[in-house]
Every structure is written in structure tokens, then in C-alpha cells.
Amino acid sequence: MIERFTQSYRIEYPKLFLNADLFQNLRSLLLSILELLKNSIAAIHRTASLNHFMKQK
């Protein structure tokens, strides 16, 4: 019963499912970009700290 409803729902509203997939992909992309940004900032911070430490010696 539920499967039949889901199949008809998919046929009637394919764009809705397409949009859901698109939204999921965009969300994944955004999370990846944020992770990359976070890692870049951490790397820059580590480099700056290391340079500061080396200058003090």
C-alpha cells in the first residue's frame, strides 16, 4: 500500500524529488566548502603560530 502510494507520488511529482536531491547535493557541497574553509583557517593559524614561535627563538 505504502509502496504503491510512493510510486504514484514519484510519478506525479518527479520535480519535487529532483529538488530534494538537488537540495541534498547543495547541502553536502556547502558542508564540504565550510569544512575546507575551517581547515584552511586552522592551517593558516598553525603557520602563523609557528612563524611567531620561530621569530622568538
Alpha carbons 16 and 6: distance in angstroms, whole number: 13
Q: How confident is the model at residue 2 (pLDDT cuts 50, 70, 90)?
A: low
Range of the domain at 29: 14-56
Residue 5 resides in a domain: no
Top pLDDT among 22 and 2 is at: 22
Helix axes 2-12 and 14-56, enclosed angle (nearest 10): 80
Per-residue pLDDT reduced to its tens digit, 12-47? 666 666 677 788 888 999 999 999 999 999 999 999
Residue 20 resides in a domain: yes
Residue 3 resides in a domain: no
Residue 32 resides in a domain: yes
Residue 25 resides in a domain: yes
Domains: count for the chain: 1
Mean pLDDT, residues 49-57 taken together: 82
pLDDT for position 24: 86
Residue 7 resides in a domain: no
Residue 18 resides in a domain: yes
